Amino acid sequence: MGRWQSGAEGRLVQAAYELYLERGFDDVTVAEIAERAGLTKRTFFRYFDDKREVLFSGAPAFEAGVVAAVVDAPADVAPIDAVVAALVAAGSGITAMGEDARRRQRLIDTSTDLQEREMIKMAALAAAVADALVRRGSPEATAGLTAQAGVAVFRTAFERWVDRDGAVEFAPLVHQALDELRTALRPDGAHGPVGPPTDGVRHGNR
């Protein structure tokens, strides 16, 4: 967890991860995290509302990056493709962390509390993406459905990435999940992508 060693916040995150991995999330207290980091509980609460938030400290930056990418996507890119491209870029940053990212997700999977917090974060992400799509000109109802679909595709791909070992490219997993969704929406149930990718981004309404 060396990437989190600089500054008080980074020390708290590293200390929390070490303790969670050693003993499990439920058996670690805020006081113990602060002590391991060489800081006080008061300092902990300057950065985090509770011990769950340590595992989601990167969520605001992740959301901001996705929203910015959606807003800046070319006008001729279909809404779902703009969302998926943004999530591929942001998700690739997470998966680049390799086993650290897998361990984090496996910690979340061990706790109902953490899974609930993750669902809240994903719902907030979907709402932010929907707002970004509205800013691009999508009707509100379409934007909401598209954002939900995009986040579902992202979560499916990320779960598959976590279940694999070693260096696995994230983008193909996302596009595979998107193709599966598109296949499910075809009236004939035909398999395969609805249209070919162009430079890694699929264009046009389909």
pTM over 0.85: no
CATH 1.10.357.10 is the classification of domain 58-185:
yes
User: What number of CA atoms fall less than 13 Å from residue 12's CA on the CB side?
Assistant: 26
Which phi and psi (to 5°) does residue 198 adopt? -125, 110
Residue 139 has pLDDT above 50, yes or no: yes
pLDDT at 32: 97
pLDDT at 79: 95
DSSP H helices in 38-111: 41-47, 59-72, 79-95, 99-109
pLDDT at 190: 55
Average pLDDT, the chain: 87
Given a contact cutoff of 8 angstroms between Cβ atoms, the answer to whether 179 and 166 are in contact is no
Percent of the chain that is helix, strand, coil (3-state, to 5): 70, 0, 30
Instruction: Give the whole-angstrom CA distance, residue 81 versus residue 60.
Output: 22
Given a contact cutoff of 8 angstroms between Cβ atoms, the answer to whether 154 and 91 are in contact is yes
Instruction: Give the whole-angstrom CA distance, residue 61 versus residue 167.
Output: 24
The percentage of residues in the chain with a pLDDT greater than 70, rounded to a whole number, is 87
Given a contact cutoff of 8 angstroms between Cβ atoms, the answer to whether 90 and 62 are in contact is yes
List the chain domain ranges.
2-54, 58-185
pLDDT at 100: 87
pLDDT category, 188, cuts 50, 70, 90?
Answer: low
Average pLDDT value for residue range 21-48: 94
CATH class of 2-54: mainly alpha
Task: Dump pLDDT digits (tens) for 117-136.
Answer: 999 999 999 999 999 999 99
Residue 1 has pLDDT above 60, yes or no: no
Task: Dump pLDDT digits (tens) for 84-111.
Answer: 999 999 999 999 988 889 989 999 998 8
pLDDT at 189: 53
Residues 6+ apart with CB under 8 A from 194: 179, 182, 183, 186, 206
pLDDT at 54: 92
Given a contact cutoff of 8 angstroms between Cβ atoms, the answer to whether 103 and 21 are in contact is yes
